[in-house]
Amino acid sequence: MTWWQTIDTTLFYWINSSLSNPVFDTLLPWCREKWFWAPLYLFLVAFAWHNYGTKKGWIFVVGLVLTVALADFTSSSLIKKNVRRLRPCNDPALQDQVRMRTTCGSGYSFTSSHAANHFAVAVYAGAVLTGAVPGIRLLLLVWASLIAFSQVYVGVHYPGDVLGGALVGAFLGWWTFAVFKRFF
């Protein structure tokens, strides 16, 4: 695992330091804030209700909430608490070299719950809504990737953390969609 840590640390420094610029410094901390995306979440709910009716709209919303809850629980309670990887900003060997653009956080790093939650939403909503909005899958995956990238840029996660979170979230989003599709 030493080789993976070396690659992860090297990529972290490249994203966190070498890509530094005033535009990213301003924009990317906002991209990781959940309330910044509230209009998008409201749009998804309203769009589902408008296009699928009240009953299917509610089923979509319940599926979305369950998807996020499952992704968050899996990432935060199952994986992070067992892996116990320090965040780069909390690692005594690295913290003096990390460019912090937000508060560090006290929890563990692997997997990124932001990445898990947003990739779960992207895959679930993209799969459900793809018939109504061509290209929505790609758009939502780009959105989730931006949030995951911002986690590394602001200094709170390694790239491997967000990759792990993205894979967990994508799997759970697809699984929840499969359940949604089978029963509804």
Using an 8 Å Cβ cutoff, are 19 and 153 in contact?
Answer: yes
Mean per-residue pLDDT over the chain, rounded:
91
Is residue 6 in some structural domain?
no
Helix axes 113-129, 136-153, angle to 10 degrees: 170
State how many domains the chain has. Answer: 1
Exposure of 178 in the CB half-sphere (CA atoms within 13 A): 6
Is residue 87 in some structural domain?
yes
Is residue 20 in some structural domain?
no
Is residue 30 in some structural domain?
no
What gap in Å lies between CA 53 and CA 61, rounded to an integer?
Answer: 12
CATH of the domain at 154: 1.20.144.10
pLDDT of residue 56: 86
pLDDT of residue 15: 95
95 against 143, higher pLDDT:
143
Segment 82-102, tens digit of pLDDT: 999 999 989 888 878 888 888
Report, as an integer, the average pLDDT of 109-128: 95
Segment 33-66, tens digit of pLDDT: 878 999 999 988 898 888 888 888 888 999 999 9
Is residue 63 in some structural domain?
yes
Report, as an integer, the average pLDDT of 9-23: 92
What gap in Å lies between CA 31 and CA 143, rounded to an integer?
Answer: 9
Confidence of residue 81 (pLDDT cuts 50, 70, 90): very high
Tell if the pTM clears 0.85, that is, is over it.
yes
Is residue 7 in some structural domain?
no
Is residue 79 in some structural domain?
yes
Q: Inform me whether the pLDDT recorded for 1 exceeds 70.
A: no
Q: Which domain holds residue 78?
A: 35-183
Is residue 3 in some structural domain?
no
Top-confidence range, 1-5, 46-50, 126-130, 147-151: 147-151
CA 121 to each of CA 19, 25, 98: distance values in angstroms, whole numbers, following the listed order? 27, 26, 29
